[in-house]
Structure 1
Amino acid sequence: MVKVVFLHPDLGIGGAERLVVDAALALQTKGHQVHIVTSHHDPSHCFPETSSGIIPVTVSGSWLPRSVFGRFLALFAYIRMIWASFYAVFFSQLDADVYFCDQVSMCIPVLGLFGRKPILFYCHFPDLLLSSHRTWLQKAYRAPLDWLEEKTTGLATKTVVNSHFTAGVYQETFKSIRRRPEVLYPSLNFESFDRVSPMTLNQVIEADMDTIDFVFLSINRYERKKNLALAIHSFALLKATLEKPNVHLIMVGGYDERLVENVEYFEELRKISASVNLDDSITFLRSPSDDIKTCLLKNCHTLLYTPANEHFGIVPLEAMYCQLPVIAVNSGGPLETVEDHRTGYLCHPTPEDFSDKMRYLYENRAVAVQMGQRGRERVVQNFSFQSFSNQLDDFVSTLVAN
Structure 2
Amino acid sequence: MCTMRIAIYHNLPSGGAKRALQELVKGLGPRHHVDVFTLSSADHGFADLRPYVNGHQVMDFQPLPLFRSPWGRLNQLMRMADLLRLQQLTRRLAQTLEQGDYDVAFVQPCQFEVSPSLLSRLQTVPTVYFCQEPLRRVYEPMPARPYNQPRNSWRRRLDRLDPLPGLYHLLLKQADRHNVRQADRVLVNSHFVRRAVDRIYGVEAHVSYLGVDVRQFRPLGLAREKMVLSVGSLTPLKGFDFLIRSLARLPAADRPRLAIASNFQNPPERDYLHQLAAELDVELALLGNVSDQRLVELYNQAQVTVYAPVREPFGLVALESMACGTPVIAVREGGTQETVLHDQTGLLVRRDEREFAEALARLLSNPAQAREYGQAGREHVVRHWSWSRAVSTLEGHLEMAIQSRLQPLGAPQPLHESR
TM-score, L = length of structure 1: 0.83
- Over residues 123-161 of structure 1, what are the superposed CA-to-partner deviations in whole Å (9 max), with x where a residue is unaligned? 1122132576x9673433322321222122111011111
Looking at structure 1, the residues matched to 312 and 364 of structure 2 have their Cα atoms a distance apart, in angstroms, of 26
CA distance in 2, matches of 1:63, 1:31: 31
Amino acid at match of 1:102: Q
1:157 is the counterpart of 2:192: no
Q: 2:91 maps to which residue?
A: 86
In structure 2, how many angstroms separate the alpha carbons of the residues matched to 1:107 and 1:123? Answer: 13
* Cα distance change, pair 217–324 in 1 and its aligned pair in 2 (3 A): same
Instruction: Give the partner amino acid of 2:264.
Output: Y
1:231 equivalent in structure 2? 243
Per-residue CA deviations over 1:100-143 (Å, capped at 9, x if unaligned) read 11223242345423xx20000011122132576x9673433322
Cα 1:320–1:16 change in 2 (3 A) is same
1:185 equivalent to 2:209? Answer yes
Matched, 1:129 2:139: yes
Looking at structure 2, the residues matched to 89 and 307 of structure 1 have their Cα atoms a distance apart, in angstroms, of 36
1:54 aligns with 2:45: no
| Post-superposition offset of 1:68 | 5.5
Which residues of structure 1 form unaligned runs of 5+?
Answer: 202-211, 257-261
Aligned position for 1:309: 311
What is aligned with 1:13? 14
Aligned to 1:369: 371
Counterparts of residues 3-402 of structure 1 (less than 5 Å): 3-10=5-12, 12-42=13-43, 46-47=46-47, 49-50=48-49, 53-55=51-53, 57-65=56-64, 71-72=75-76, 75=80, 78-79=83-84, 81-90=86-95, 95-103=101-109, 104-113=114-123, 116-127=124-135, 128-129=138-139, 137=163, 138-175=165-202, 177=203, 180-194=204-218, 213-240=225-252, 242=253, 245=254, 247-255=256-264, 262-278=266-282, 281-401=283-403, 402=406
Other structure's SS at 2:348 match: strand
Q: CA RMSD in A?
A: 2.9
User: Judging changes above 3 Å, is the alpha-carbon distance between structure 1 residues 290 and 372 closer, same or farther for their aligned structure 2 residues?
Assistant: same
Structure 1 distance, partners of 2:293, 2:58, is 26
Instruction: Note closer, same or farther for the CA distance 1:84–1:4 as it changes in structure 2 (3 Å cut).
Output: farther
- Structure 1 CA distance for aligned equivalents of residues 81 and 326 of structure 2: 40
- Segments ≥4 residues shifted beyond 6 Å: none
- Residues 260-314 of structure 1 show CA distances to partners (whole Å, capped at 9, x for unaligned) of xx12101111111222233xx3221013111111111122121110112111121
Alignment deviations for residues 83-105 of structure 1 (CA, whole Å, 9 cap, x no partner) = 55235334587553211112232
CA deviations on 1:221-262 (whole Å, 9 max, x unpaired) are: 10011111111122222243x4xx373221112215xxxxx1
- Partners of 1:172 and 1:91 lie apart in 2 by 34
| Uncovered stretches (5+) of structure 2, i.e. residues with no partner | 143-158, 407-419
Q: Contact 1:167 / 1:183 at 8 angstroms: preserved in 2?
A: yes
Q: CA deviation at 1:336?
A: 0.9
Secondary structure of 2:182's counterpart equals coil
How many residues are aligned here? 371
Q: Is the 8 A contact 2:225 2:301 kept in 1?
A: no
Using a 3 Å threshold, how does the CA distance of structure 1 residues 36 and 370 change in structure 2: closer, same or farther?
farther
Shift of 1:79: 4.1
1:198-225 CA-partner distances (Å, limit 9, x unpaired):
xx88xxxxxxxxxx84321011110011
2:299/2:326 contact within 8 Å kept? yes
Question: SS state of the match for residue 281, structure 2?
Answer: coil
Report the Cα distance in structure 1 between the residues aligned to 2:84 and 2:367, rounded to whole angstroms: 52
Amino acid of the residue matched to residue 185 of structure 1? Y
Once the two structures are aligned, what percentage of the paired residues are identical? 23
Q: SS in structure 2 opposite 1:101?
A: strand
TM-score normalised by the chain length of structure 2: 0.80
CA contact (8 A) 1:111 1:119 kept: no
Q: Counterpart amino acid of 1:54?
A: Y
Once the two structures are overlaid, the 10-residue window that deviates more, 17-26 or 298-307, is 17-26
Supply the AA of the counterpart residue of 1:124.
Q
Q: Which amino acid aligns with 1:249?
A: L
1:187 offset after TM fit, Å? 1.1
Quick one: which amino acid aligns to residue 273 of structure 1? A
**Distance verdict in 2 for CA 1:299–1:228, change over 3 Å:** same
1:332, distance to aligned residue in structure 2 (A): 0.5
Q: CA deviation at 1:33?
A: 2.1
Equivalent pair of 1:98/1:118 in contact (CA under 8 Å):
yes
Contact 1:9–1:77 (CA under 8 A) maintained in structure 2: no
Distance (whole Å) between structure 2 residues aligned to residue 341 and residue 282 of structure 1: 27
Q: State the AA in 2 paired with 1:65.
A: L
2:409 is matched with which residue?
A: none
Counterpart residue identity of residue 293, structure 2: D
State the secondary structure of the residue aligned to 2:14. Answer: coil
Q: Aligned partner of 1:19: which letter? A: A
